[in-house]
Amino acid sequence: MPESVAATTALKILKDTFGYDSFRGPQQDIIDVLINGGDALVLMPTGGGKSLCYQIPALVRQGCGVVISPLIALMQNQVEALRLNGVRAEFLNSTLDARRVAEIEADLLAGEIDLLYIAPERLNQPRTLALLQDADIGLFAIDEAHCVSQWGHDFRPDYIQLNILHEVFPDVPRVALTATADARTQAEIVSKLELGDARQFIAGFDRPNIRYRIALKQTPKSQLLSFLQTEHENHAGIVYCLSRKKTEQTAEWLGQKGFKALPYHAGLDSDVRAKHQSRFLKEEGVIIVATIAFGMGIDKPDVRFVVHLDLPKTLEAYYQETGRAGRDGEPADAWMVYGLQDVAKLGQMMDKSEGSEEFKQLERLKLNAMLGFCEITTCRRHALLTYFDEDSPATCGNCDTCLNPPETWDGSLSVQKALSAVYRTGQRFGVNHLTDVLRGVENDRVIQFDHHQLGVFGIGKEIVSEEWKSVYRQLLARGFLRADADKFGAIVLEEKCRGLLRGEETIQLRRDIIDKSSKSTAKKLTKTPLPDDIDVTLWEALRETRRTLAEEQGVPPYVIFHDKTLQAMAEDMPSTLDAFSRLPGVGERKRDKYGETFLKIING
């Protein structure tokens, strides 16, 4: 197919099938490369339109587009959405019985499928490879390609074997896509998937609609409740916890407080997980309380917040998890509380891991970067983008440190005292004990070890316990101290603290403020930000119609139409099917299927 014809065809599919008038960012160039038989590596932020980059070429090229996707639920959601747009899409996974699998395989061989979703574990089976060799394949799309990285938080061993696609199907174009990959992970993707000749498209990591906010963990449940009640009542969101037990306890507690909250972790029965995920996608205002087992590829546009009640291990994990908020481009919050216990817990987990020393060292470096991000006094967005080697302004105006710059103080003398207490007590004790020594508390444990006889005993009475804990937390975050797993979390000195300990260097620390309520620091987000001239009654009627249609068809509301399409209906008030078809997100199939229904609502 000539390039000009292919480009025209792609644009027509974009409008007629998906309901959009123009491509965004590098989408057009990526699609052109794949249509013309080239390979591509695509890094594009969540919500940036990665799916269209392979879905449209699959519809333009001869043959079926095969999408390698890591999650069953993700496959099902994308297939549902494609079918509503008139695309012949199917998936092959363990939820299907043998008869249905045989039907899909027959359709594939007959050329009656446009897009086939499949897990890497199934694709690597000899039987599946033989099936694909007998079929007409137009392209391969490797979604969530960062799963190839053994150093990453989402590593899937079967992803490494996907280089077989290059060997078995050398003439079929391949595209690897992800929203999260630092320079090292990008190099791994290229190497392990044999994409050395692929065009690379790095679309940027910035999500300007997300407000990044981090607070000191004091009374986490109360802090969370205040955040939700003040800013996100009846909103959909995700709350991440480190342990399975904590997800269940938090979900139950939020339920008692009147929220629709459901737990999600790998230890739950698969049917329960599927049910909870389905409710999150299809109902409004549901909160999922989850471990990192939840969220990859979740295509829900109106997630208004992502909360971390525990510290993520890496900035990559933090970026990917927070990126599940605000996929629709509307304002969203990434809100986190963390404290000293998180630092110690993660440090001990890493020290006890069975990985190689090189792996542990890399994990410590990544944790230090995460801790440093929490403690910075400058723009969080700038720091996050710098981590991913992306240039950005020094301030963003949409993070807590830009909106409310933190106060700092000269902590040089206090730090010297804190480090001296660690040294004089033999680097064998935790922060609570060190704080007692500095504060001159003569309790049984201090007396048992004769620490009331030390020169450092009582030299820090001018600072309250919480402030000493802040000092130690910041020293741990900046790598001057570490928690030693072999000594049950005892605080030990790192070589870099020598200058501070001797008083040869100075240090500025951030002053912690007791956050009694999030009201003073946050701007409330409306449920759906709307222009002032929109008829709210009409807006709610459109949403109710969408909800009813979604329930009848067993799909999430956004699969029918996104909020932006409903907003365009309320703003433009189309009176004919032709005018309705010009709304963003309305393709031919949806115009024919839903147009009359919504026009009746709009025109009374």
Tens of pLDDT, residue by residue over 544-594, are 899 889 888 888 888 899 888 998 898 888 889 998 999 999 999 999 999
Report the pLDDT value the prediction gives residue 153, as an integer from 0 to 100: 58
Confidence of residue 316 (pLDDT cuts 50, 70, 90): confident
CATH 3.40.50.300 at 408-512, yes or no: no
Q: What is the mean pLDDT of the chain?
A: 87
Angle ∠(289,295,299) on CA atoms, nearest 5:
120
* CATH domain 3-202 topology: Rossmann fold (3.40.50)
- Tell whether the model's pLDDT for residue 274 goes beyond 90: no
Distance between CA atoms of residues 474 and 470, nearest Å:
6
DSSP string, 513-572: ---S-GGGT-PPPPSS---TTS-HHHHHHHHHHHHHHHHHHTS-HHHH--HHHHHHHHHH
Report the pLDDT value the prediction gives residue 441, as an integer from 0 to 100: 92
The overall pTM is greater than 0.75: no
Which of 567, 517, 571 has the alpha carbon at shortest distance from 330? 567
* CATH domain 210-338 topology: Rossmann fold (3.40.50)
Q: Where are any strands of DSSP class E within 388-432?
A: 408-410
Beta-carbon count within 10 A of 148 CB: 29
Which of 389, 3, 380, 36 has the alpha carbon at shortest distance from 181? 389
Q: Report DSSP state, residue 145.
A: G
Tens of pLDDT, residue by residue over 203-215, are 888 999 999 999 9
Residue-range domain boundaries for the chain = 3-202, 210-338, 408-512, 536-602
Tens of pLDDT, residue by residue over 389-433, are 888 899 999 999 999 998 889 999 999 999 999 999 999 998 889
The tokens describing 247, both together, are 């997800």
Question: CA-CA distances (angstroms) from residue 90 to 53, 101, 297, 391?
Answer: 18, 10, 17, 40
- 3-202 shares its CATH topology with 210-338: yes
Beta-carbon count within 10 A of 134 CB: 11
Distance between CA atoms of residues 29 and 205, nearest Å:
18
* CATH domain 536-602 topology: DNA polymerase; domain 1 (1.10.150)
